Chains A and B, each alone.
Chain A
Amino acid sequence: MDSLRHYLTLHRQNLLDALRRLASQPFASSLTVLVIAIALALPAGLRVLVNNAGALNDSWQGAADFAVYLKIDVSTENAARVARAIGGRPDVANVTLIDRAKALEEFRAKSGFGEALDALDGNPLPHTLVVRPKSGAAGDVEAVAAAVRAIPETDLVQLDTAWVTRLRAMLALAGRMVDLATVLLAIAVTIVVGNTIRLEINSRSVEIEVVKLVGGSDGFIRRPFLYLGFWYGLAGAGAAAVIVAAALLALEPPVRAVATLYGSGFQLAGLPLREIVLLVVGGAVLGWAGAWLATARHLKAIEPK
């Protein structure tokens, strides 16, 4: 019990000593923290962008709509019946029937090809149904489309999910690239902290030697440096979170402007709390790890003479 308390006291002292040590050289410490912050802000920021692109993609309900062209000889009553049948399906949200006569009129009015159309005998346009499935997921949309294709009156189902699939694939690729960048930059952070701790060890070699001479164990000598690495990582991650938040704040107005142009209520999402916690904890762990590597490599070399 007593030794546990002693242990905890020592740790608290090391923790505070390390913080004091950082504060005593504000310029050098801030530079290191800033380098770590930038290295961490990069993957964190990219992740925010990918998350937002994913949210944008999901919010694109219209992407699930598809057009059904009925056979040219299907009567208006028959078309209405087919529309009702499809609309009655449990996996379909609604069906809009575009009557071929009305479509022709509209086309004539809007396209300016009126005279060319008059040269044709009869209406070349078929009845068209616009189907909105309940679910936007690619598989569900495909299932509805397949059912509609089986109806004898159907001529052609125009399913434009290819671009959605392509977008999804690109998002997945982007996500994977962000993962890779995260790993590389995590390694960079470990190296930056490790190198900083190595310099710190060198500048404190006299102290290390004295502590070894009066019986300090490797663990005792190592701990202050581990805490130093911990603080570097923690501070760097905190600063990274601030950088990402500031960048999002700067991007917010133009994004809102674009969204308004497209009549969308889309809003930039920031880093969710869970990811902020992950970032900060990850930063602290990386700092600790960097310090651990540096001490493992360099402390043994300093022996009393």
Chain B
Amino acid sequence: MIRFENVFKRYPSGREALSGVSFNLERGEFAFLTGPSGAGKSTLLRLIALIERPTRGTVLINNQNTARISRGRIPPFRQRLGVVFQDHKLLHDRSVFDNVALPLVIAGASRREIERRVRAALDQVGLLGRESHAPITLSTGEQQRVGIARAVAPRPDVLIADEPTGNLDPDLSREIMELFTRFNEVGVTVLIATHDLELIEHLPHRQLKLVAGQLAADSGRGGS
């Protein structure tokens, strides 16, 4: 589902964030991306979301070479990808409902469909009944969950998350990881960048460890 083949990423500043990364994440797999700060975790996720392009090497998503996706084809590509951001990236001039509905509106879902899916997604993250609230009135953890609801509402094939538990307390963090596990159980391929090793050590999922832009350890299946 997500396949990296000898991927390099050098930023215009000259900094090489990824140096020859290769791995393969099968459809329906769940993996954590770990490693110290500055190792290149966010960079790797940005390559998947086509926010950045690799300098060298190939990134294949669902057997599609992302290098062949032109600028104009990026929107439909992103519509099939769920992304959770560390800083939530919610729109603060809109209600929780409108935030979660955004990708559905973009995809052209009918009003009834939007209504149904938004409520289902908010139900999954435990925020049903908060539709009309402004994101700013929610706690950080709740905002993070709104971000997750938005990412899963269109039922993407792939879900990627960058530090989704960044500054949450351990209980909340565990809850959110359980949430991702549940999505994974219904077939969504999940890749989560985190440096909260304590949180994930008890979890059975595969771990990809990046150090200085290189894959230092891979606990898992899939192979490369």
Interface residues of A (CB under 8 A from B): 2-3, 6-7, 9-10, 206-207, 209-218, 220, 303-305
Contacts and interface: CB of A to CB of B under 8 A. Distances in A.
A217 B197 CA distance: 37
B89 A210 contact: yes
A211 B150 CA distance: 12
Interface stretch (B18-26, B101-109, B209-217): B101-109
B91 A213 contact: no
A210 B91 CA distance: 8
A6 B102 contact: no
B89 A213 contact: yes
Contact of B110 (A2, A213, A304): A2
B79 A215 contact: yes
A6 B106 contact: no
Contacts of B110: 2, 6
B14 to A, nearest CB: 18
A9 B89 contact: no
Nearest to A7: B108
Interface string B79-92: 10101010001110
Interface string B49-90: 101000000000000000000001001111101010100011
A210 B109 CA distance: 19
A207 B110 CA distance: 23
Given A209-B89, A212-B78, A216-B75, 12 more contacts: A206-B91, A207-B93, A214-B102, A215-B75, A215-B81, A215-B107, A216-B106, A217-B76, A217-B106, A218-B75, A220-B106, A303-B51
Contact residues on B (Cβ < 8 Å of other chain), bracket? 20 to 34
B49 A211 contact: no
B89 A10 contact: no
Overall SS of chain A's interface: helix
B111 interface: yes
Contacts of A2: 110
A2 B78 CA distance: 23
A206 B76 CA distance: 20
12 contacts: A207-B91, A207-B93, A210-B102, A213-B78, A214-B79, A214-B102, A214-B106, A215-B75, A215-B76, A215-B79, A215-B106, A304-B51
Interface of B: 49, 51, 72, 75-79, 81, 83, 85, 89-91, 93, 102-103, 105-111, 150
Nearest to B150: A214
B91 A214 contact: no
Contacts of B106: 211, 214-217, 220
Nearest to B51: A304
Nearest to B99: A210
Contacts of A6: 108-110
A210 to B, nearest CB: 5
A224 B102 CA distance: 14
B201 to A, nearest CB: 31
B187 to A, nearest CB: 20
Interface-centre pick from A207, A209, A213 (highest chain B CB count, 10 A): A213
Contacts of A206: 91
Nearest to A3: B108
B42 to A, nearest CB: 10
Given A2-B110, A6-B110, A207-B91, A213 B49 contact: yes
A212 B102 CA distance: 11
Contacts of A7: 108
Interface-centre pick from B49, B76, B81, B105 (highest chain A CB count, 10 A): B105
A237 B76 CA distance: 38
Given A2-B110, A6-B110, A213 B105 contact: no
A3 B109 CA distance: 9
A6 B113 CA distance: 12
Contact of A213 (B76, B83, B107): B83
Given A210-B91, A213-B83, A220-B106, A9 B150 contact: no
A217 B90 CA distance: 18
A80 B106 CA distance: 89
Nearest to A21: B93
Contacts of B93: 207
Nearest to B88: A210
A188 B134 CA distance: 39
Contacts of A213: 49, 51, 78, 83, 85, 89
A217 B77 CA distance: 10
B43 to A, nearest CB: 12
A215 B78 contact: yes
A192 to B, nearest CB: 25
